[in-house]
Amino acid sequence: MQRIYFDNAATTPLDAEVLDAMMPYLTTHFGNPSSIYSYGRETRLAVENARKTVAKILGANPGEIFFTSGGTESTNTAVCAAINDLGCERIITSPLEHHATLHTVEHLHKQKGIDLQFVKVSPDGHIDLNDLEKLLSASNKKTLVTLMHANNEIGNITDIHAVGELCKKYNAVFHSDTVQTVGHFPFNLHATPVDFINGAGHKFHGPKGIGIIYISEKNKISPFIQGGSQERNMRAGTENIYGIVGFAKALELATKNYEADKAYICGLKNYMLQQLQNNIEGVSFNGDYAGSSLYTVLSANFPKNEKSELILFNLDINNICASGGSACTSGANVSSHVISAINPNADIDFVTVRFSFSRHNTKEEIDTVVSKLKEII
C-alpha cells in the first residue's frame, strides 16, 4: 500500500527542481567558498547569489541574511544575542512556542537569572495582545519578546506587525520564529517591525540541514558559533553550499507558486475538516482553524476511548503518516505542551492528531484517511 503523507509541518519532500539546482554543488562544483582559486570563487558566487535571492523575496538587504543549519540554530542565535549583545534582561514569550524557543529561554532563565514571563493565550490559541502590553509596561528592564508567527501544532497566525509595534513602543527586541511561514507566507521585512526571524528549507520542499536568520541591520551582534570567518564573521564553519543553493531555489519556487499552492492546499484543509465532521462523531478542532490560521495545518481532536488511544499507531500500520498532540505510538501518552496550554483537560478528554498538507496531497487521500479513521475509531 502506498504511503499517505499528512505530516508536512514536520518536513516536506524535496522538490525535483530543487535537487536539480543542488546537484552541481554535490558533484563538480565542490570547492570551498573560502578558497581564492576558481573552484572556491564559483561556490562563493553561488552562496552570494542565493543570499540575494532570499533577501529579495523576503524584502531584506542581502547583508541581513545569514545561512545557518536550520530553524533551531537561528532561534538560539537570536535569543542568545538579545541577551548577550543587545542588553536584554527579561524575556516575554508564550507557552505555545516551539521547544527550540522554550528550552532556550528556560536555559537562560536558569543559567543567567534572566527574568522569564509568559503572555496569556486565549482558548483558541491566540496571543493576548493586551496582556503583552501589560507585561511590557510593567518593567523598565530591556526586554526580548519572542513569539512565533504561526504555531506548528495548531496553525494559529500571530499578527507580528501588531506585536512589533508594541515592542517599538516599549523599546523591546522582537524575535519571531517564522519557520512555519517562510516559504508559505509573503514577507516584506523592511516594512515589518521585527529584529530577528528564522526559516528552515525543509518546511517548503527544500533540503534539510539549512536555514536562515534575518538580523535587522540596526542590530550588531556577536557570532553564536565561534571559529572561522564564514558568513561575514557571523557564523563559523564551511558553508553548506548545496543546502544554501537548495534553500534559495525552494524559496523561489514557493514564492512563484504561492497563490496557486495556497488556494489548493487550503481547499484540502477545508475538505478534510468537512469530511471529519461528517463522518466522525464527536470530532473537534484546535486553534482558530477557520480564521487567522495557517492553510497547511489542521489539528483534530477525537474523543478518547480504548480504540482512539492508539490512533496514531493504527494510522502508521495503515501507511498513513500524521503526528499527534497526544501521541500513543508506544502505548503511552506523550502530551503536547501546546494542546495542554489551551485545554488543560486535553489528555483526559481526547486524542489529538495534526494533519498537515502540501501541494502533493489529494482529496482522494483524504477520503482514504477518513475512511480508515472510521474503521479505527
Q: Does residue 328 have an active-site annotation?
A: yes
For residues 45 and 235, the answer to whether their CB atoms sit within 8 Å is: no
Strands (E), the chain: 4-5, 65-68, 90-93, 115-118, 143-146, 173-177, 196-200, 211-215, 284-285, 297-303, 320-321, 323-324, 350-356
For residues 148 and 200, the answer to whether their CB atoms sit within 8 Å is: no
Amino acid at 125: G
Question: Of 182, 167, 150, 212, nearest to 338 (Cα)?
Answer: 150
CA pair distance 86, 220, nearest whole angstrom: 8
Find the radius of gyration of the CA atoms of the chain.
Answer: 21
For residues 351 and 308, the answer to whether their CB atoms sit within 8 Å is: yes
For residues 316 and 288, the answer to whether their CB atoms sit within 8 Å is: no
Q: Residue 187, exposed/middle/buried by CB under 10 A (0-12, 13-18, 19+)?
A: buried
Name, in order, each residue with C-beta under 8 angstroms of 2's C-beta and a sequence gap of 6 or more: 319
Among candidate residues 88, 167, 321, 328, the one labeled active-site is 328
Backbone conformation region of residue 315, classed left if phi is above 0, alpha if psi is from -120 to 50, else beta = alpha
Amino acid at 185: F
- Strands 350-356 and 323-324, by their bridges, are antiparallel
DSSP, residue by residue, 308-328 = GGGHHHHHHHTTEE-EESSB-
C-alpha grid cell, residue 325: 498532540
Q: Residue 337, exposed/middle/buried by CB under 10 A (0-12, 13-18, 19+)?
A: middle
Supply the residues annotated as catalytic: 328
